[in-house]
Structure 1
Amino acid sequence: MIKVLLVEDDVRLADALAGALEGRGYVVDQVRTGQAALGAAPVDIILLDLGLPDMDGIDLCRRLRERADGADTGIIMVTARGRQSERVRGLRSGADDYVVKPLAVDELCARMEAVLRRTRRRPEDPPVALGPLSVDLATRTVTRGDEPVDLTRKEFDLLAALVREAGSVVSREHLLLRVWQTSWPGTLRTLEVHIGTLRSKLDVPGLIETVRGVGYRLAAADGAAPGAADGATGRPSVSAAPVQPARRP
């Protein structure tokens, strides 16, 4: 059950949006002011209007991030401020995504789902084996044997997005939204550069496949051992499976 805090002072809009989200299975609490948002119980995701009566939403976002539970809470700004400078300010203040009104509820739900995948941490999940590599999503580390693979934050976010959907084609637009919080086509070159750098650092041929005209796919297990050659293609078969801890004698 996903809990949502809707911070919106427009009563009619808030009631309509809350009703639509509740109809899709979300549990929604509504508040009208920044102070009320700061005093609200922890939730999974916050939908934050910027034009509040008692404080600016940008400042509120920063204060929400400073709370003890702030790092693991998704924050999406939902506002009429559509200028690029406002988007940049919002994302830099700590928001995970920025949506301009008027909005489509289905698109908002898709963005919420994407944010929740990034922000929800599951330390109980074991590391994932990618051929000779071990990827730990909880600690954000990649190792080859005992040696760490040095990735930037964006490179790891990109790898994690592919790992979570191993074997499926992930569109370029989806990766841009999840990693860079934008769907602007001008960012596609940035994505391509990061994919190239990530392939070079991971050094596992065939691990990240390009699906021409669509996006990218992390090679899925086909029953062969991690790192074993595929006789048909010559590429390694990559297992996106939990790494089993070694047994002690």
Structure 2
Amino acid sequence: MGDAPHILVVDDHRQIRESVTRYLERNGMRATTAKDAREMDAKLAGGQFDLMVLDVMMPGEDGLSVCQRLSAERRLPIIMLTALGQETDRIVGLEIGADDYLAKPFNPRELLARIKAVLRRAPLTEREPGSLAGKTVRFAGLTLNADARYVEDADGNRAQLTTADLRLLTVLLERPRAILSRDQLLDLTAGRSAGPLDRTIDNQISRLRRKIEPDPMRPTLITTVRNGGYCLAADVMVTE
């Protein structure tokens, strides 16, 4: 078990903590639990973890605040647990750096699948953004500083990117003018397939447009292709 992925489960419901822990351990992972943000901070200070499962609704500091704080401090992958139907929480979670989300009540098998998908791309996340690391990327009058995770325009205005923003933008920059379906984008950025009502990619595209489009309401850079998906309509220049 020494090399098994170590998962930190943060949830104020004891039954959820215990059931998730048992299931993960039966499937070859290590699990440590925390009931709130204060206990979570203590566990993070005293151990090494590969991924965090984080509930949104907790007493004291809530999960969204925790996610935002940790995303700024470290690159520990985070899967958010949200109440069923709380789409706003899911969107905000992705905006502030969560890697994935799952609505309660959830099937432990699906949680395990999400964890494995995020962990498969964890080595890439640690050296974000993969093939663009250490390079200068110019497109449509913008410059991407991949290592510092921001996009800068010709006037020097900068838009900071979350981990999820950077991952999506990297996928698009590596495939300029190619039409990518929502399923392809979700597979390339999250390592999983979309459910019937999954709007993860649409939400992430909207957020990225707000950061790089001159007019996000009339996008010309990341275009929508009817019955196709999305396309980065720009030439890309990459230099060492």
TM-score range normalised by the length of the shorter chain: 0.5 to 0.7
When the two chains are superposed, the root-mean-square deviation of aligned CA atoms in Å is 3.7
1:17 aligned counterpart, secondary structure:
helix
Gaps in structure 2 of 5+ consecutive residues: 145-165, 206-223
Q: Structure 1 residue 115: deviation in Å?
A: 1.8
Q: Structure 1 residue 2: deviation in Å?
A: 0.7
Aligned match for 2:11, one of 8, 11, 15: 8
Q: 1:102 to 1:62 in 2, by over 3 A?
A: same
Matches of 1:50 and 1:185, distance apart in 2: 17
Aligned to 1:43: 49
What is the number of equivalent residue pairs in this alignment?
Answer: 174
Q: 1:117 to 1:95 in 2, by over 3 A?
A: same
Aligned to 1:193: 230
Q: 1:56 to 1:81 in 2, by over 3 A?
A: farther
- After TM superposition, list the pairs within 5 Å mapping 1:146-165 onto structure 2: 153=166, 154-157=168-171
Q: Give per-residue Cα distances to partners, 1:106-131, cap 9 Å, x unaligned.
A: 2222222222233324889xxxxxxx
Alignment of 1:137 with 2:137, yes or no, is: no
TM-score by length of 2: 0.58
Q: Structure 1 residue 13: deviation in Å?
A: 1.5
Matches of 2:11 and 2:130, distance apart in 1: 34
Aligned match for 1:54, one of 57, 60, 65: 60
Q: 1:84 to 1:123 in 2, by over 3 A?
A: closer
Matches of 1:12 and 1:92, distance apart in 2: 29
Aligned to 2:199: 184
Aligned to 2:69: 63
TM-score by length of 1: 0.56
Q: Give per-residue Cα distances to partners, 1:27-75, cap 9 Å, x unaligned.
A: 10011110111121231100001122222111111222233xx22x110
Query: Does the aligned pair in 1 maintain the 2:64–2:93 contact within 8 Å?
Result: yes
Alignment of 1:29 with 2:66, yes or no, is: no
Question: Segments of 4+ in structure 1 off by > 4 A?
Answer: 148-152, 158-161, 188-191
Q: 1:149 to 1:142 in 2, by over 3 A?
A: farther
